[in-house]
Structure 1
Amino acid sequence: KQNFVSCDTCKDILHHKSIDGTSSMMKHFRSCEKNSINNNNESLTINEYFSSLKTRSVPTRSKKKVLNATVELVAMDNRAFELVGGNGFINLAQTIFDVGQELSKSQNINVSDLLPHPTTVSRNIDRLFISRKSQLISLCQNIKSYAIVVDFWTESHSGVSFCGISFHFLNEELQLYAFILGCYPYDRDNQSSSQIRQFVDAKLLEFDLSLENSKFVVTDNENKMKSCFKEPCIRIGCSIHYLNKQLEHCFTSVTLEKISVNCDLVQEMFDYIRKIVSHVRRTHKQSKLPRKLQSYSYTRFNGAFLTMNVFLTVFDDLVGVLDRTFLDDYMLIDKDLLEHVCSFLGPFEEVINELSCDKKPTIYKVLPLRQCLINRCTIHQDDHDGIRQIKTFLIE
């Protein structure tokens, strides 16, 4: 017979004999740190002690509250409707609910009975959209001074063009607010400047907004957009778009307005990098690298920098991943030039991020940041030939 016992809470071993009674155990129980923290010497209530294993039906009012919150979740976080049906999500929700039960002393409820079906969530998305749009319309009616940002692009695979429109204004405390009015498929017969303007005006009218002489419109610097918003409004060219287009031409364009870009060294290197990145991603060899390679996208600001910077990070690891064909292209890449290009483009990325701030106005930063980049394009004697080509093009 063993003369000891173990504490269920802290697992301490206590000397105990039956003839001693329970005094030593009670003394340890009162001094047990974990027990005092977790239980605070509180006795169970009758409902807790005789808790029912059956789950209660969830009131309709409570289910509606959870439904609305779930619709908000998938809409605001851009999540799939099936999210609420996943085992992981149900486990998380049940755990949170159980913790709430411990604090509120409520009875057991199966969280599966509380969560709406994904189909129910999908059917309520339109209702939420109509409600939020109505609130936004009411807000727009009270704003007298604002700016509209308009962006057009075409999806390369389907050929469908889209128009994105956002609404920006300052409140009385000079806090910047931004709302996306919508991303609309362009359904007009052509993309003439007059048709585009009519399309944008029609979408703004849905929110009781109109472009007048005192209203600002921010667009890219393409001739078509300049023609669309000549009047009656004040058009401001997007500085980030202008900067991004110049960097894009450095790495992808042979000529610009019938004038040679003359960035052969960096363009040849960039072509090799794009081929290797495409091959690695297509052949599912990403898992062998410490970081995922990034494909080039002309719609991403400073996309060439992101592609090359990630490529440089895993440059030495690529030797063990590439086959002979692409290894020949790899050997033709000048790592020294790649390092210089990434170092040169780093401040451009910082400027783009600085001007992309959506919490406060940034127009006052354009001129000083522009001058900073111009100063960076000063040619030095020890510059690599490829860097000289980039600087010459950007300055001109």
Structure 2
Amino acid sequence: MARVRDNIKAMTPYNPPLEGRSAKGYLLLDFNEMTIETSPKVRQALHDFVDSKRVQVYPEYGDLNEVIASYAGVKPEEILVVNGSDQGIDVVMRAFVEKGDRVIIPSPSFAMEYQSALVQGAEIIKPEYQGPSLSFPLEEVLGLLDSSPKLFVLCNPNNPTGGDISMEDVQRILKRAKEKDVVVLHDEAYFEFSGITAKDFIKEFDNLCITRTLSKQFGLASVRAGYVISQTQNIQEFMKIRGPYDVNMFAKTAIVAALADLPYFERYIAEVMREAKPKVEEFFRAKGVKFYPGVANFLLVEPKEPEKLIKNLQEQGILVRPREDPPGTVRISIGTLQDTERLILAYSRAMGWS
């Protein structure tokens, strides 16, 4: 075969357990997706697009940047629409990171951040979240910024722990990073659930790039929709990397319809974060199940017999996500109150409590 780069040959594919999960009627609590359908207005807009006889035509984006910018509270020229936030992460990596560069990723973190860095041939530095509560290693990170890295990745809230880093600490990191000419990638995949964003730092810090998704909180995972926020000069460089048609018209149509129907999604998010999640946490506390408190739509749990739990929940029609880092943990997405009641009953049966 043709010669493939050595760093690519040394990698393994990122193969999340996706196949077959949506066809068997499972309650999907494994990928932090919306557990109900996306809004009727989004579904109708997609139907209308299919019926418009324009599927065969290359995409036209119109005022898509303006629509997203208005929602995000930034300027249209500070937005790059991408094929899911995975592509946003990849574009930022490709823009700044070359073979042999150091990339700092506090760990554990989202798998695609490592994958994109490895594709570039980067050396990944992994300061570990610390102690029994998996606290963010702030002082270690600030010290590592003196070691000439090219890029620092901050998943905030963190996936898989769900923990957050305060904006005061993010600002400290940004200041130190700017002094050292280090780019900061702030992954805000769970912004709508947590309210956490570094968006207000965009004007001050030209080394800040924010990635967001519309997959989880807007129910658009299958159409692949996300965006990058950064200063205009950065966005102009990123446009040289993203292809002109990388964002398809199904995604464009769905984004516009979703952002025009915010109350639908806000009701879902409120139910998840204010009602369902506290109910799960209360159940775990009452049963002595160790979990890591977080600010996103999932919980990282440390059950006594994780493999048995996962298998038993699957037999009861519920999928959750096993984690190797931290070892012996399981990530459980939070859905509606109805989903939560089903989860609690199944978990109790799996552990022999009912």
Classify the TM-score, shorter chain. under 0.3
TM-score by length of 2: 0.23
Q: Which is richer in helix?
A: 1
Whose relative contact order is higher, 1 or 2, with alpha carbons under 8 Å and at least 6 apart? 2
CA radius of gyration, larger in: 1
